[in-house]
A and B are shown apart, each in its own frame.
Chain A
Amino acid sequence: MKDARASRGCVLQLRDLHKRFGATPIIRGVSLDIDQGERHAIIGPNGAGKSTLFNLVSGLFAPSAGSIRLDGEPIEGFSPFEIYRRGLARSFQVTNIFPRLSVFENIRCSVLWSLGYRYSFKRDVAKLSDANARTGEVLEQIGMSARRDVRAGVLTYAEQRALEIGITIAGNARVILLDEPTAGMSRAEAARAVSLIRTISVGRTLVMVEHDMGVVFDLADRISVLVYGEIIATDAPTRIRENPAVRAAYLGTGPGNL
């Protein structure tokens, strides 16, 4: 398996990444290689900087120092839409949808760019059969077909989480970052989300932050452990479980359920 990864090459490469807010260092020298086609989980205690790391990679913040390469090309300091257009999409830990649009519209807006419609104002969206078909497909995948005409803002929390994932995957990005996709879900809902993530990650690269260790060990090919803005270990799940540094970090910070 390891050899297969190596031959497929690395899509996302972080080198000595730093981020400070004011004087406070939050990310303190992260280096990480994400391989083509792997499912990579990032775990770590609350406030370790996992979401901040995603924010750097996806372009919400510019890093204070260090480099980020997507497919070998530097993207640090790029704006979110530029990074998205290079094939990287992300979801948010705090639900981030279009509250006054219908579920259907939420997804359809998210497929437009990837199908090449850009800022076109010559075509009627109702007649874009590929966009509408793709939207239907995504709705089916996230199990929201029956709720397609509901305003997103009035959905239940779990439904909004599902929509959040739907918006992220709708554009068929090659690299997908999911920030705590199952947070706050019931067991059954989480199980559905996991199988959805498994389906959509086929043929793509997936990086996810997740607190639920069941989900992590179930899905991930490799795991990185982020503590206080530093990666203390990156390895296969079984070996992470036995890593003394990881155990120390987790036992030292409280609710470790490794």
Chain B
Amino acid sequence: MSESKTASPVPERRSGALLQWLERRKAWLFAAIVLIILPHVPGLDGNFGRSLLSQMGIAAVFALSYNLLLGQTGLLSFGHAVYFGLGGYAGIHLMRAINAGLPIPMPLVPLAGAATGLAFGMLFGALTTRRAGVVFALISLGVGELVFAAMRILQGFSGGEEGITANRGMGPHPFGLTFGPQLQVYYVIVFWSAMAAALMAAFLRTPAGRMCNAVRDNPERAAFIGYDPVRIRFVVFCVAAMFAGLAGGLHALNYEIVAAEAVGAGRSGTVLLMAYIGGVHSFFGAVLGAVTITWLQVSLSDYTTAWQLYLGLFFIAVVLFAPGGLSGLLLMHRPILGTRAFLHVVKSYAIAALPALAAAAGAIMLLEINYRRATQPDTGARMRLFWMDVDTSSVWPWLSAIALLAGGAFLFNRCRRLVANAWQQASDEARTVGGMQREPRP
């Protein structure tokens, strides 16, 4: 985060300018190439894979916009889906208009979402950003409920729970593109997502963006260096709402349906989970969280109906043990990356992972059996668990699950010392090699 290079006034030759430009945008170029290739990678080149990638792209924009609020400005919102969903409705209604003959190419639909997000961001932002902290959180929740209830009542506009649909293939076909195939939609989504990510990153480098961090850290002092914290919050709220609206527009384009749940508390909660689990302290954390959670949602919901429970447990574990989120966990290793003891650390992780997996397997067995008995009592006592047939009326599955859980937890506790020692070694080494500023903690 501490980006603080002063402008380097090195005189450069004209021919070097392009190279330098490329050099500075190396990471973005690399990301662009990966994103272009991804839907052709085996495993992801089917309809399922491409649709998964599309969902990830949408979720990433949404989570990044949420990070502007929570990570950058310290605004905890429980109603960010309002802007996503209203953007989605704007998108779907525009698509219906295009279906009815409006001569606008489909890829521009997300812009309608962004404009709508921005408009409602300005409307509700004026109301909610006057307060920060806990009160802001509560108000955002209230506004979310308000809009959700309104969408359920205004059936004609929103289609209520069933939602309204449109057809992305019906409209002008520029360059012969129909936007029917998932691949074409994926590229539209990737284009807008990359654009949105770049713009949000750029926003954070502007004076207003920098002041977001200042307001997050200390709104009182920000007022004493000339800035109105309420105004800063309002600005960032509008920006975040706009990009959430863009994500909603992408959602409309991708699914061709938007329903009331798009503005609901569930979706607001999910984006909070994504941004927080990914890590709010870094920009790419939101992307990491969006990708991880989307993948979990899609893959877990195939295997178990209890996936929300796992998601909740995962979230609580992050809150309790890794407040920096996944990206925080990854970045924690940066100081010891070059050391020889780093190998020890990795090795200790591998060893500790075994009992952890065993304990997790035990816990999952218990939860799954219980869940099955409570939610589908009519399906009988037999169920599939980890590719095994299990008879839940006998005592053995229960016993083995408990044994796995207890034994795994016990051994894992022992392994923690191993990990801590390896870390100690590595950070000692890192400190002697290069001057480290902060002591990493295991």
B226–A114 touching, CB < 8 Å: yes
A residues near B63, Cβ cutoff 8 Å: none
A11 adjacent to chain B (CB < 8 Å): no
B207–A120 touching, CB < 8 Å: yes
B6 adjacent to chain A (CB < 8 Å): yes
Which of B4, B9, B216 makes the CB contact (< 8 A) with A102?
B4
CA distance A123 to B76 in the complex (A): 27
CA distance A23 to B89 in the complex (A): 54
B residues near A3, Cβ cutoff 8 Å: none
Interface residue total, chain B, C-beta cutoff 8 A:
36
A-B contact count (CB 8 A): 124
B4–A104 touching, CB < 8 Å: yes
Contact mask for chain A residues 105-147; partner B; CB cutoff 8 A; 1 contact, 0 none? 1001110111001111111111111001100100000000000
B228–A148 touching, CB < 8 Å: no
Which of A110, A124, A150, A154 makes the CB contact (< 8 A) with B225?
A110
A126–B2 touching, CB < 8 Å: no
Interface residue total, chain A, C-beta cutoff 8 A:
50
B213–A98 touching, CB < 8 Å: yes
B residues near A109, Cβ cutoff 8 Å: 210-211, 214, 222, 225
Which of A98, A113, A119 makes the CB contact (< 8 A) with B218?
A98
User: Which 8 residue pairs across A and B have the least CB separation, nearest first?
Assistant: A113-B226, A98-B217, A80-B223, A117-B207, A121-B206, A132-B6, A121-B208, A110-B225
Q: Which of A83-91, A181-189, A191-199, A229-237 contacts B (4 or more CB under 8 A)?
A: A83-91
Identify 26 residue pairs between A and B in the complex whose beta-carbon atoms are under 8 Å apart, listed by A's number.
Answer: A79-B223, A80-B223, A80-B224, A81-B226, A81-B228, A84-B226, A85-B226, A89-B225, A98-B217, A100-B213, A100-B216, A101-B213, A101-B217, A105-B4, A109-B214, A112-B210, A118-B207, A119-B208, A119-B235, A125-B209, A126-B7, A127-B7, A128-B207, A132-B6, A132-B7, A170-B225
Interface positions of A (Cβ within 8 A of B): 58-60, 79-81, 84-85, 89-90, 92, 96-102, 104-105, 108-110, 112-114, 117-129, 132-133, 136, 148-151, 154, 167, 170-171
B228–A79 touching, CB < 8 Å: yes
B residues near A58, Cβ cutoff 8 Å: 224
A residues near B232, Cβ cutoff 8 Å: 119
CA distance A84 to B216 in the complex (A): 20
CA distance A120 to B211 in the complex (A): 10
Interface centre among A89, A100, A129, A148 (most CB of B within 10 A): A100
Contact mask for chain B residues 229-272; partner A; CB cutoff 8 A; 1 contact, 0 none? 00110010001000000000000000000000000000000000
Name 17 extra pairs, CB < 8 A, besides A84-B224, A109-B214. Answer: A92-B221, A97-B221, A99-B217, A100-B217, A105-B2, A105-B210, A117-B207, A118-B207, A119-B232, A119-B235, A121-B206, A126-B3, A126-B5, A126-B7, A150-B437, A154-B438, A171-B225
Rounded to whole Å, the gap between the CB of A58 and the closest CB of chain B is 7
B227 adjacent to chain A (CB < 8 Å): yes
CA distance A88 to B216 in the complex (A): 23
Which of B206, B216, B227 makes the CB contact (< 8 A) with A113?
B227
B220 adjacent to chain A (CB < 8 Å): yes
Q: What is the chain A residue whose CB lies nearest that of B223?
A: A80
Q: What is the chain A residue whose CB lies nearest that of B203?
A: A121
B225–A97 touching, CB < 8 Å: no
CA distance A167 to B231 in the complex (A): 21
Q: What is the chain A residue whose CB lies nearest that of B224?
A: A80
B residues near A79, Cβ cutoff 8 Å: 223, 228
A residues near B3, Cβ cutoff 8 Å: 126
CA distance A100 to B232 in the complex (A): 18
A129–B7 touching, CB < 8 Å: yes
Q: What is the chain B residue whose CB lies nearest that of A106?
A: B214
Rounded to whole Å, the gap between the CB of A150 and the closest CB of chain B is 6
CA distance A136 to B9 in the complex (A): 15
Q: A120-B208, A121-B208 are in contact. Are A98 and B214 (CB under 8 A)?
A: yes
B33 adjacent to chain A (CB < 8 Å): no
A residues near B226, Cβ cutoff 8 Å: 81, 84-85, 112-114, 171
B residues near A97, Cβ cutoff 8 Å: 218, 221
A101–B220 touching, CB < 8 Å: no
Rounded to whole Å, the gap between the CB of B88 and the closest CB of chain A is 25
B17 adjacent to chain A (CB < 8 Å): no
Contact mask for chain B residues 187-217; partner A; CB cutoff 8 A; 1 contact, 0 none? 0000000000000001101111111011011
CA distance A176 to B239 in the complex (A): 35
Q: A96-B221, A99-B218, A112-B210 are in contact. Are A119 and B231 (CB under 8 A)?
A: yes
Rounded to whole Å, the gap between the CB of B427 and the closest CB of chain A is 16
B4–A121 touching, CB < 8 Å: no
B residues near A105, Cβ cutoff 8 Å: 2, 4, 210, 213-214
Q: What is the chain B residue whose CB lies nearest that of A116?
A: B207
Rounded to whole Å, the gap between the CB of A115 and the closest CB of chain B is 9
B7–A121 touching, CB < 8 Å: no
Q: A84-B225, A98-B221, A102-B4 are in contact. Are A108 and B210 (CB under 8 A)?
A: yes
CA distance A204 to B377 in the complex (A): 80
